[in-house]
């Protein structure tokens, strides 16, 4: 996401860094580039203008306070970064739990924004934290939205209140109300109400959403919006604000490559925090929104924190504990770890998603695209042909050892050499990340070139063969 914006910012700051002393003229030029980049990222024009005016003024103020020759580019960078964080919501807010359970969360948004899937994700998220959510199927419009929610609920073991089959039949206000009553009676501590998609300009349906709100007085109304939305974000979020009102925003489909400028527009217009992000089709692909991470990502510093979390979740306990211990003790990352990692990576949900979070992922796009499954198999067979000593200390790998390994793996010696070179690059990168630095300086990461160590198409979904044709079963498989 935000690739282009990132590359624009990279260009801006690379040229600022080269200059040492920054003039007002430089700031104006940079602001013009930032303006262009934000527009290409779908940020609404009025938001762009006020943002750019703000950073121009703040940069001038900031530069007045620092010594010429000291790191001026860094100061400007800080201004842009902090202004972005400010607009994106300052600090992330958590869901407010009601003093008198159940806590009622109502979802609202356009058709196709991803509300039903999100309802399942929220339920899983809160259930995993020990809550007892009840899903309420109040989307009685879209064919089989109710069935979809039932399947999702079943797959995560969360009850679904669905007295009406939907498909155009039933009253969503009554269902929502009955759902909350049911939750009270059965002592669920949380209710998540899925609602039908509606257009901002659809007066009748907006009124219906308002009626659901009035009937429930939800603790949180979440506006669910597709990260790919363009300039209409402004009109639509205003319409939902006027029509139902909302307390927080959820950005969906962030695993795509949309630049997501709408997030800036909505946060800045509505002053409501972006609370969660939805990042994939599996019910676990969900996260709390981190404005600072998003800003870093916009600025090309990558999202190392999210990467670390995602990787941790993907590695099994053993592997990750081992790696973590190594990481902490400052030991070197060895070929053995590399092998573990390759194996863990094949288990990971979405390689491209993970890599996309790395610093300078724009520059790595090419490298990512060149990865393929054959390569991971070849790599594994090479590492497996090494002795434990060789895996731990590749420095012992002289010519004869290399040809023995090549023979054992059924590969050319050049393949072995190639792997060792790439491994050394990876090792170096990991050291840099450990040291907390974004390699190659902030924020331009060009030249960091991710070594080709991961499969191009590692299972982003369960393997076809293991996928059940039975929707209920399949959903269960997916949520695992």
Partner 1 sequence: MALFSKLIAKLKRENSFAPADWAQLEKELLASDLGPTLTTNFLSAAKKVKSDNAEAALLEILSNNLALTSREPIVVPGTTTIMVVGVNGTGKTTSVAKLAALYKGSGKSVVLAAGDTFRAAAVEQLRTWADRIGVEVVCGKENGDPASVAFDGAKAAQASGADFLIIDTAGRLHNKNDLMAELAKVKRVVEKLSPINEVLLVIDATTGQNGLQQAKIFAESVEVSGVILAKLDGSAKGGIALAIESELGIAIKWVGTGESEGDIAPFDPNAYIKGLIS
Residues in touch with ligand GDP (CB under 6 A): 111-112, 142, 197, 199
Say how far apart CA 156 and CA 125 lie, in whole Å. Answer: 10
Nearest approach, Cβ of 296 to ligand GDP (angstroms)? 32
230 binds partner 1 (CB under 8 A): yes
Binding status of residue 203 toward partner 1 by CB under 8 A? no
Strand partners, 220: 105
Residue 148 touches which of partner 1, ligand GDP, none (Cβ within 5-8 Å per kind): partner 1
How far does Cα 217 stand from its chain's mean position? 30
d(CA 83, CA 85): 5
How far is residue 56 from each of residues 27, 31, 61, 62, 413, measured CA to CA in Å?
Answer: 7, 7, 9, 10, 56
Kindly list the distances between the CA atom of residue 203 and the CA atoms of 18, 249, 306, in Å, as whole numbers in the listed order.
54, 21, 40
Say if CB 208 and CB 173 are below 8 A apart.
yes
Six-digit token string for 348: 């990971």
Give CA–CA dist 399/414, Å, rounded.
11
Instruction: Choose the one of partner 1, ligand GDP, none that binds residue 40, judging by a C-beta under 5 to 8 angstroms depending on kind.
Output: partner 1
CB atoms under 10 Å from CB of 479, counted, come to 18
The site for partner 1, by CB under 8 A, has a size of 65
DSSP string, 238-285: HHHHHHT--SEEEEE-TTS----HHHHHHHHHH-PPEEEEE-SSSTT-
CA distance 1 to 247: 25
- Residue from 108, 206, 262, 298 touching partner 1 (CB under 8 A): that is 262
Please state, in angstroms and rounded to a whole number, the distance separating the CA atoms of residues 119 and 106.
9
Q: Distance between CA 72 and CA 57 in Å, rounded? A: 15
Run of H or E including 287: strand 286-288
Give me the phi and psi of 47, to 5 degrees please: -70, -40
The interface region with partner 1, picked from 79-87, 91-99, 255-263, 296-304 by CB under 8 A, is 255-263
Is the Cβ of residue 81 or residue 237 nearer to partner 1 in the bound state? 237
* H or E element, residue 45: helix 45-64
- Partner in contact with 231, chosen from ligand GDP, partner 1, none, beta carbon below 5 to 8 Å by kind: partner 1
- Which of 58, 192, 224, 71 minimizes the C-alpha distance to 124? 192
Q: Which of residues 113-172 bind partner 1 (CB under 8 A)?
A: 113-114, 141-145, 147-148, 150-152, 155, 167
**59 vs 195 by CB, closer to ligand GDP:** 195
Q: Is 261 in the site for partner 1 (CB under 8 A)?
A: yes
Specify burial of residue 174 (Cβ count, 10 A radius: 0-12, 13-18, 19+).
middle
* Count of Cβ atoms closer than 10 Å to residue 100 Cβ: 7
Q: Is 255 in the site for partner 1 (CB under 8 A)?
A: yes
Nearer to ligand GDP, 80 or 119 (CB): 119
347 scored as a contact of partner 1 (CB under 8 A): no
Nearest approach, Cβ of residue 141 and partner 1 (Å): 7
Q: Which does 469 bind (CB under 5 to 8 A by kind): ligand GDP, partner 1, none?
A: partner 1
We find the least distance from the C-beta atom of residue 209 to ligand GDP, in angstroms, to be 14
- In the complex with ligand GDP, the residue whose CB is nearer, 143 or 157, is 143
CB of 235 to partner 1, least distance (A): 5
Measure CA 90 to chain center.
18
**Shortest Cβ 197–ligand GDP spacing (Å):** 4
Whats the size of the chain, residue-wise?
480
Contact 284, 479 (CB under 8 A): yes
Rg of the Cα trace of the chain? Answer: 25
Give which of partner 1, ligand GDP, none residue 171 binds (C-beta under 5 to 8 Å, depending on kind).
none
Candidates 62-70, 88-96, 440-448, 465-473 — which segment interacts with partner 1 by CB under 8 A? 465-473
Q: Which is nearer to ligand GDP, 14 or 147 (CB)?
A: 147
| Options 226, 285, 292, 390; binder of partner 1; rule CB under 8 A | 226
For residue 65, the minimal CB distance to ligand GDP (Å) is 52
Residue 284 interacts with partner 1 (CB under 8 A): yes or no: no
- Which one of partner 1, ligand GDP, none is in contact with 158 (Cβ closer than 5 to 8 A by kind)? none
Distance CA 47, CA 27 (A): 19
CB of 266 to ligand GDP, least distance (A): 20
Position closest to ligand GDP via CB: 111
Is 2 a residue that touches partner 1 (CB under 8 A)? no
Is the link from the previous residue into 93 a cis peptide, with omega within 30 of 0? Answer: no
Q: Which stretch binds partner 1 (CB under 8 A): 37-45, 71-79, 330-338, 340-348?
A: 37-45
> Among residues 71, 91, 457, 480, which is the contact residue for partner 1, using CB under 8 A?
457
Q: Binding string, 369-408, against partner 1, x = CB under 8 A? A: x---------------------------------------
CA 19 to mean position of chain CA atoms: 34
- Tell me the C-alpha distance between 376 and 320, whole Å: 20
The contact set with partner 1 (CB under 8 A) reads: 36, 39-42, 44-46, 110-114, 141-145, 147-148, 150-152, 155, 167, 199-201, 226, 228-236, 239, 253, 255-259, 261-262, 281, 350, 352, 369, 456-457, 460-461, 464-465, 467-471, 473-475
């Amino acid at each position: 996401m935000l690739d282009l914006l990132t590359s624009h910012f990279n260009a801006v700051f690379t040229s600022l860094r080269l200059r040492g002393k920054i003039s007002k003229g430089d700031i104006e030029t940079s602001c013009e580039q930032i303006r262009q980049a934000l527009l290409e990222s779908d940020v609404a024009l009025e938001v762009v203008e006020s943002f750019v005016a703000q950073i121009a003024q703040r940069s001038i103020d900031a530069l007045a306070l620092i010594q010429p020759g000291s790191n001026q580019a860094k100061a400007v960078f800080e201004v842009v970064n902090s202004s972005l964080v400010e607009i994106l919501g300052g600090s992330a807010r958590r869901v407010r739990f009601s003093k008198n359970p159940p806590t009622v969360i109502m979802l609202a948004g356009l058709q196709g924004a991803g509300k039903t899937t999100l309802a399942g994700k929220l339920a899983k998220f809160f259930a995993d934290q020990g809550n007892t959510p009840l899903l309420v199927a109040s989307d009685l419009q879209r064919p089989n939205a109710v069935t979809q929610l039932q399947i999702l609920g079943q797959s995560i073991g969360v009850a679904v209140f669905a007295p009406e089959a939907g498909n155009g039949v039933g009253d969503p206000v009554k269902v929502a109300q009955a759902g909350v009553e049911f939750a009270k009676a059965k002592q669920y501590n949380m209710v998540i109400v899925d609602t039908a998609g509606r257009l901002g300009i659809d007066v009748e349906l907006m009124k219906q959403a308002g009626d659901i709100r009035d009937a429930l007085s939800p603790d949180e109304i979440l506006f669910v919006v597709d990260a790919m939305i363009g300039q209409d974000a402004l009109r639509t979020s205003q319409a939902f604000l006027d029509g139902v009102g909302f307390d927080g925003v959820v950005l969906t489909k962030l695993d795509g490559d949309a630049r997501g400028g709408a997030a800036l527009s909505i946060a800045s217009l509505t002053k409501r925090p972006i609370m969660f992000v939805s990042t994939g089709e599996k019910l676990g692909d969900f996260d709390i929104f981190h404005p600072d991470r998003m800003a870093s990502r916009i600025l090309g510093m990558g999202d190392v924190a999210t990467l670390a979390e995602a990787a941790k979740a993907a590695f099994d306990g053993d592997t990750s504990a081992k790696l973590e211990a190594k990481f902490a003790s400052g030991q070197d990352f060895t070929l053995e770890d590399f092998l573990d990692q390759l194996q863990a990576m094949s288990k990971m949900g979405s390689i491209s998603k993970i890599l996309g979070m790395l610093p300078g992922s724009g520059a790595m796009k090419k490298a990512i695209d060149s990865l393929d499954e054959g390569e991971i198999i070849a790599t594994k067979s090479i590492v497996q042909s090494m002795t434990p000593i060789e895996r731990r200390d590749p420095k012992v790998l002289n010519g004869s050892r290399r040809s023995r390994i090549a023979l054992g793996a059924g590969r050319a010696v050049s393949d072995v050499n190639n792997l060792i070179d790439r491994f050394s690059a990876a090792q170096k990168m990991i050291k840099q990340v450990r040291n907390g630095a974004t390699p190659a300086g902030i924020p331009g990461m060009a030249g960091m070139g991710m070594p080709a160590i991961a499969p191009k198409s590692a299972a982003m979904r369960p393997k076809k063969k293991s996928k059940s044709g039975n929707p209920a079963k399949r959903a269960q498989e997916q949520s695992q």
